[in-house]
Structure 1
Amino acid sequence: MAYLSKAFSGYSTDDIPAAKAFYGEVLGIDVSEANGMLTLHFEGGRDVLVYPKGPAHTPATYTVLNFPVADVPGTVAELRERGVQFEKYAGTPGETDDDFVFRKGGPLIAWFTDPGGNVLSIIAED
């Protein structure tokens, strides 16, 4: 079914201008806006749609977008300097350390949220 091969992912937000500033200015992602929606442009032609849902928006309680990086603690520190607030989880299985990094099995990972409250992560590249 070749006609299904051009899929893309998307999720909602309650504030398109805040999302545009966060993704474009804070995270440095190439962002375009059309028809009141944002498109996040990533390497390899991978796009993600962020669409407005207004007051009916409910943030995703799971990770909607992962950013693979070579240095998770270093990237967390850099993004914290830019004002990104990382999540601190206590108890098993999701306990993070004082650097906001999960180091208890699997790849190193750290979670944060966008202005709409959607969960994002910085995760170690393979």
Structure 2
Amino acid sequence: MDHPEIMSPLSKWHRSIPGLTERFELFACQKEIVNAYTELNDPVVQRERFAQQTQEKAKGDDEAQPVDENFCTALEYGLPPTGGWGLGIDRLTMFLTDSANIKEVLFFPAMKPDDGSSKSDSAAAAAVPQPPPCKD
């Protein structure tokens, strides 16, 4: 319960303990199957958290999240107090197959490369049948 802010960039800060967030995880058989937290709905604080994540990424943290400007813009329009939990199919599959690492059960990468030079994009385009040219 109550994770450090640096580890929970989308979670709301703890109401009474500075430096922590309102977040918990549910474990079964030593595997995390549920992640739950109160959503951070302050766009200014969210941008600060993303900036901190960018610094951590530059230091070599592979799990640091990139800035999501669309999300921050949406927060500026307003998000009521929100919270919830998620049981991902990947985590459930990990639990059911007794996998040691979630990467063993992921079928798709989490994000495409920003530079647009994904090999899978060109392979997918080559695999899609092209319609015949239109005749005038």
Q: Same fold (TM over 0.5)?
A: no
Identify which of structures 1 and 2 has the higher relative contact order when contacts are C-alpha pairs closer than 8 Å and 6+ apart.
Answer: 1
State the structure with more CA Rg: 2
Structure with a larger share of its residues in strand = 1
